[in-house]
Amino acid sequence: MNIVVVGGNGLVGRSIVRKLREDGHDVRVASRRTGVDIISGAGLEAALAGADVVVDATNAVAPYGESSYEFFTIGTANLLAAEKRAGVGHHVSISVVGTERLADSPYFRGKAHAEAMIRDSGIPFTILHATQFYEFLLAIVEAAVANQALRLSPAYIQPVASTDVADAMALLAEGSPLNATIEMAGPERERMSEIVKRFLEDVEAPFEVVTDAAALYFGATLDEGSLVPCEEARLCPVGFTTWLHGSEYARASW
């Protein structure tokens, strides 16, 4: 198949591209690096010409603020319009478990709006809701830290290895459209404040973690189940300790 991976130079996108090429597909990368900008629409027409499937693995540069809302809504509208003109037969998109429950956050509100546009586009689609990547723990730290301390919610999370998500996205792109949303998560459920504390201890980062039920998560207030998947979610095998020991963070110099 002729598959275009939009955001194919990003964390998950690179792995999706590699997996699809290993499986023998004709894969093109569309990103700013290749001259494609989904916000302005520049380069989209040429990038999608002849595509059977489009995989959207893009993400906002900053997961907070109104700019993230605009990224998902404007970018998705432009991408879907270009797909219609190109006659694309399957749109595969990655999103986040709990998106529909976090309307207070511009990031998640933008994700939810984008998903609605996908469902209403008339293009056959598959949406994958994944839990937070282990790599995203660092972004949680960066967003919450102030004066060497982090105030974090005790809400449960069930993070997943980005490579497991990439493999799942590749399989979805190779299959028929589901016209539905499916969920996947890692094997271990833990409170956010506790797993981040464990992460910081393991990499010897000099931060204190304070558990605070009122702490915001990228603009949203969480309850215990805001970020965890449904019972039917696919569970991936890579646990936190296995991921950490094989990651760059295990060798980080603080």
Q: What is the pLDDT of residues 164-183, one digit of tens each?
A: 999 999 999 999 999 999 99
Q: What is the pLDDT of residues 123-133, one digit of tens each?
A: 999 999 999 99
Is a pLDDT exceeding 50 seen at residue 134? Answer: yes
| Buried-exposed string 34-50: b where 16+ CB fall within 10 A, e elsewhere | eebebeebebbeebbee
Residue owning tokens 């309307």? 103
Q: What average pLDDT does the segment 191-197 reach?
A: 94
Is a pLDDT exceeding 70 seen at residue 90? Answer: yes
Is a pLDDT exceeding 80 seen at residue 22? Answer: yes
Q: What average pLDDT does the segment 229-243 reach?
A: 91
pLDDT value for 154? 96
* Mean pLDDT over each residue of the chain, to the nearest integer: 93
Strands 145-146 and 149-152, by their bridges, are antiparallel
- Among 87-101, 146-160, 237-251, top mean pLDDT goes to 87-101
Confidence at 254, pLDDT banded by 50, 70, 90: very low
- What structural domains and CATH numbers belong to the chain? 2-251 (3.40.50.720)
Confidence at 252, pLDDT banded by 50, 70, 90: low
